[in-house]
């Protein structure tokens, strides 16, 4: 019993004294290319990531109008108007680290699918 109490006390002290270590989220291993964005978003939020919502008073052209107004994903940063029509979304962890997400299948009537993701060190 005494060992359990010591381990618990050490864990609490570490979390208080070193919050950046204790609060750092990892990218969930369950993210898979081609999975629906709705599922990936839920997975990230459940893992402690927060969607970085942008101003609702911005231009909504093409796929962005569909993504924001119909699907309710205000964390979309931009969408390309050509090619695969990729859209970029951003999430942040408790320390402000940014995770970039890119989806395809972003046109009206489609469900966006995860294409790729990475830690964004430039923002």
Q: Which residues, 6+ apart, have CB-to-CB distance to 62 below 8 Å? A: 79, 81, 85, 107
Tell me if 47 is assigned to some domain. yes
Number of domains within the chain: 1
The residue ranking higher by pLDDT, 18 or 71, is 71
Sheet strands (E) in 11-97: 50-51, 76-79, 87-92
Domain that holds residue 112: 24-120
Q: How far is CA 55 from CA 9, 79, 93, 108, in A?
A: 42, 16, 19, 21
> Is 95 inside a domain boundary?
yes
Q: For the segment 3-37, what is each residue's pLDDT rounded down to a tens digit? A: 544 433 433 343 444 444 445 679 999 999 999 99
Q: Say how far apart CA 71 and CA 113 lie, in whole Å.
A: 13
Asked if residue 15 belongs to a domain, the reply is no
Is residue 89 situated within a structural domain? Answer: yes
Query: pTM of the full predicted structure?
Result: 0.77
Q: Between 123 and 12, name the one with better pLDDT.
A: 123
Within a domain: 72: yes
How confident is the model over 73-117, as pLDDT tens digits?
A: 999 999 997 777 899 999 999 999 999 999 999 999 999 999 999
Q: Backbone phi, then psi, for 31, in 5-degree steps? A: -65, 130
Helix/strand/coil for 118: strand
H or E segment and range at residue 115: strand 113-120
């Amino acid at each position: 019993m005494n060992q359990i109490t010591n381990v618990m006390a050490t864990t609490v002290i570490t979390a208080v004294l070193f919050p950046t270590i204790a609060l750092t989220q990892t990218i969930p291993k369950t993210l898979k290319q081609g999975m629906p964005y709705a599922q990936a978003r839920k997975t990230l939020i459940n893992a402690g990531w927060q969607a970085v919502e942008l101003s609702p008073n911005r231009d909504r052209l093409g796929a962005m109008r569909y993504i924001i107004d119909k699907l309710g994903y205000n964390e979309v940063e931009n969408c390309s108007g050509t090619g695969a029509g990729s859209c970029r979304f951003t999430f942040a962890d408790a320390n402000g680290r940014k995770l970039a997400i890119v989806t395809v299948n972003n046109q009206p009537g489609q469900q966006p699918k995860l294409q790729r993701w990475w830690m964004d060190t430039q923002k």
